[in-house]
Amino acid sequence: MSRIRFMSMVPPPALRWNEVPVEARELYILKGYRPLSVGVVKSLASAFALHNETLNIWTHALPLIYFAWWTILDLGDARSLQAPGSHHPLYAYIIGVLTLFAVSTGAHLLMSVSWRWRQVCFMLDYAAISFYGVATARAYYHYTGNTEHSTKWYLLATSAAALAATFACCWTRVSQPKSAHYIRTLSFFLPFAFASLPALSRLYVDAYFRLRFLKHVFLLVCGAAVKVSKVPERFAPGTFDIFGHSHQVFHVLVFLGIREQFWIVMDDVKQVESSSSSSPISAFGPLAVLAALMLITLAFFSARGDTPKKNK
C-alpha cells in the first residue's frame, strides 16, 4: 500500500472539548474527541485508535461476538429438543439482541463520518434499544405459556410503547431540550418495563428464573444510574476521558444484564415441556412492521437539525 493511501486512512488526532461543536461535547470529558466529518474510511480505522469512543465501540462489539458465538453453539441443542415452530420466538429474541449490539457498535464507530451521520447513528441506537425490548417481549410472553391470541394484543401495546420511545428520543436529538437525558432514560425504561411484564408471574414459582431475572434487572438499573449520574468522570473531569467513563461502564453493565436474560431465554426453549408453536409471520411480522415504522420515524427526524450550532 502506498504511503499516501495509508495516510488517507489514518484518523486525525483527537481534539479537546472546546474544539468540537457544543452538541458533540460530553459533560466532564475534556479531551479525546474525534473530529467530526472525517468520512467513512477514517471513522472505520478509528476503531483501532485511542479516543473517547474507542471503548464505547469495543464494549459492544465484543458482546456482539459473544452472543453470535453462543447462538451458533447453543441453537442446535435447542432445536433438537422442541417442535420447529416453537423456536421462532427465540429467533426473534436473538435478532433483537444482535441488532442492539450491532447497531450500537456501528453507531459509536460511524458517528464521526459527518454531522448528519452522527444524528442518524444516535437515532438508530435509540430505535435498536426499543426494537430489542419488543423482541424480548415476544420471547418472554411465548415461553411463559400464553396463547398466540393474547400475544397479539400484548405485542401491539409493547410495539406502541417502543415506537413512542423512539419518537421521544429522536425528538430530543433534534430539539435538544434541557431534560433530554432524563427523557431518553425514561424512554429506554418504557419498552423494558412492558417487555418484563410477562416475567413477573414467574418470579414466585421459578427460583432459577427469579435469580437470573433479578440479576438482569439489577445490572440494567445500575447501568442506567451510572449513565445518568455521569459517575466516575463527574468527580474527576478529564481523568476518565479515554478509559473508564460512565458510557463505557454503562455498556458493560448492559452486556452483563442482557447476558443473564439471554440464558433465561435459551434455557426456556429447552425446558418448557410442550412449548406451543408459533408461525414465522406471527413471530417476525410484528418486528418487521415495527422496524419499518421506526425507519420512517428516523427519516422524518434525520431531515431536521442536520447542522451543529457554532462553538460557544
Residue 294 burial by Cβ neighbours in a 10 Å radius (0-12, 13-18, 19+): buried
Give strand pairing partners of 16.
Answer: 31
Query: What count of other Cβ atoms lies within 10 Å of the Cβ of residue 304?
Result: 12
Residue length, the chain?
A: 312
- CA distance from start to end of the chain: 41
| Positive or negative: CA dihedral 232, 237, 243, 249 | positive
Q: Is position 247 annotated in a ligand binding site?
A: yes
C-alpha cell at 85: 415452530
- E strands along the chain, which residues? 15-16, 31-33
Q: Is position 87 annotated in a ligand binding site?
A: no
DSSP tag of 27 = T
Q: Is position 251 annotated in a ligand binding site?
A: yes
Residue 178 burial by Cβ neighbours in a 10 Å radius (0-12, 13-18, 19+): exposed
DSSP string computed for 58-127: HHHHHHHHHHHHHHHHHHHHHHHHS-GGGGHHHHHHHHHHHHHHHHHHHHHHHTTS-HHHHHHHHHHHHH
**Which residues participate in the annotated binding site?**
108, 247, 251
Binding residues for Zn(2+) are 108, 247, 251
